[in-house]
Amino acid sequence: MTDLAPATTAIVENLARVRARIGEAAIKAGRKPDEVTLVAVSKTKPLEAVQAALAAGQTVFGENRVQEAASKFPGLRADHRFSLHIIGGLQTNKARDAVRIADVIESLDRPRLADAIAAAIAKEGRTPSLLVEVNVGDEAQKSGIGRADADGFIADCKGRFGASLIGLMCVPPAGEDPRPHFEWLADRAAKHGLGVVSMGMSADFETAIACGATWVRVGSAIFGSR
């Protein structure tokens, strides 16, 4: 009770500021503000931070670890309507838990994970929406399907998951101009007829919106640094 109130106030103010910036960036790009969905990334932040955001009307959340998501979100379902996205690299042995708790998995990035997710969907009888994550900078340490393999993998996933495959996601290389990467991803999504383009984080979401992002994943600008 003691130190929660100031943190809550900051989250509410930060959310309003980020939403306003999203709206301005959309209008500047000749788009409508409601074409861009804010995914609030609450990784490493406590349940209270999520509750503060929920109270401020935020309904879409992202977590990059399944276990952490499972510790915070399922208990909130009784009282709140929200959408939970898994946005981080997913191990195949976590696929079943992810399918059980998530509304969206944004990090489908390899055939073996597609196999594990398909098996989990069959067992759980529930199908989250799926995004293919592309490693747009072809960085060794990053998750995501490589650029060269992206088209084939996206086509395979479309065949396999049908309308549940709704878009593409990326995290461009740090310290580089993200714009060419964002443009490439938006172009790939359009070529495959996928409507969702998830790109842009606290440092670059306005640029991502200018390049066609429909979802931006923003953590520290809302919840503070980690």
* Binding residues vs ligand PLP (CB under 6 A): 41, 43, 64, 87-88, 171, 201-203, 217-221
Smaller CB distance to ligand PLP: residue 160 or 179?
179
Rounded Cα distance, 2 and 8, in Å? 11
Smaller CB distance to ligand PLP: residue 64 or 165?
64
Query: Residue 202 CB, nearest distance to ligand PLP (Å)?
Result: 3
Nearest residue to 212 (alpha-carbon basis) of 67, 7, 17, 32: 32
Query: Residue 219 CB, nearest distance to ligand PLP (Å)?
Result: 3
Smaller CB distance to ligand PLP: residue 101 or 218?
218
Neighbouring residues of 23: CB distance < 8 A, sequence distance ≥ 6: 33
Residue type (1 letter), 219: G
Rounded Cα distance, 168 and 213, in Å? 10
Query: Residue 224 CB, nearest distance to ligand PLP (Å)?
Result: 9
Query: Residue 143 CB, nearest distance to ligand PLP (Å)?
Result: 9
How would you classify residue 62: left for phi > 0, otherwise alpha for psi between -120 and 50, otherwise beta? beta
Smaller CB distance to ligand PLP: residue 121 or 199?
199
